[in-house]
A and B are shown apart, each in its own frame.
Chain A
């Protein structure tokens, strides 16, 4: 079974440029997460989708960040314009469980997209 696929793995851009990250979750996983991980820190949730609905986006900086999961499968996270402080690894994860369901709590992470903003 294929895991969570993310692209690109690495991206270097200059500040004020736009950037987009793509994620394809494990087949059948209804819940998709975007996390940001800064160097030396744990992952921090940006947005969580259940199917195509964003059920938790309170930590997404909406002035410059946007995300979509139009058909409830793959997802795109966009930053426009990028700032120096956006340099981080952007992790996508998926799980087969939805809110209120009994679950093991396991999230399946992709390899991440490392962004460097110069």
Chain B
């Protein structure tokens, strides 16, 4: 079993819609979860971090964490074409290693 599983995508939504990205992880001990965004040909950049159960909102982005289900998600409201990118879910293992999922490619069409 891979450490991080993401809904494979690709995901395509119209401008203004809500994009929902999901991720499950295998390490029950992990306390820190992250969403990175990677534009085509560019390097990943951190957009959200979440450490406790529930929702965390930052502008149009909401991260949701459910540790019991080992599930983390990212919602993007009012999606914009500039949100088109690959979104990588990541978490720290007990060994301090940051694991990344394979990513979900999102396309927002005007």
Binding site for B on A (CB under 8 A): 33, 40-45, 48, 55-56, 91, 99, 104-107, 109-112
Residue of A nearest to B100 (CB): A42
Chain A binding surface, main DSSP class: loop
Count B interface residues, CB 8 Å.
Answer: 21
A104, B46: Cα distance in complex, Å: 10
9 extra A-B contacts, CB within 8 A, seeds A42-B103, A91-B44: A45-B97, A48-B97, A105-B46, A105-B92, A106-B46, A107-B44, A109-B45, A111-B43, A112-B43
Task: Please name all residues of chain B whose beta carbon is closer than 8 Å to the beta carbon of A42 when the two chains form the complex.
Answer: 4, 88, 90, 100-103
Are A107 and B95 in touch, CB under 8 angstroms? no
Are A109 and B97 in touch, CB under 8 angstroms? no
A41, B42: Cα distance in complex, Å: 14
Are B4 and A107 in touch, CB under 8 angstroms? no
Q: Which among A105, A110, A111, A112 is the interface contact of B98 at CB below 8 angstroms? A: A105
Task: Please name all residues of chain A whose beta carbon is closer than 8 Å to the beta carbon of B32 when the two chains form the complex.
Answer: 105
Task: Please name all residues of chain A whose beta carbon is closer than 8 Å to the beta carbon of B96 when the two chains form the complex.
Answer: 48, 55-56, 99
Q: How far is the CB of B98 from chain A (nearest CB, A)?
A: 7
Task: Please name all residues of chain B whose beta carbon is closer than 8 Å to the beta carbon of A43 when the two chains form the complex.
Answer: 44, 88, 100
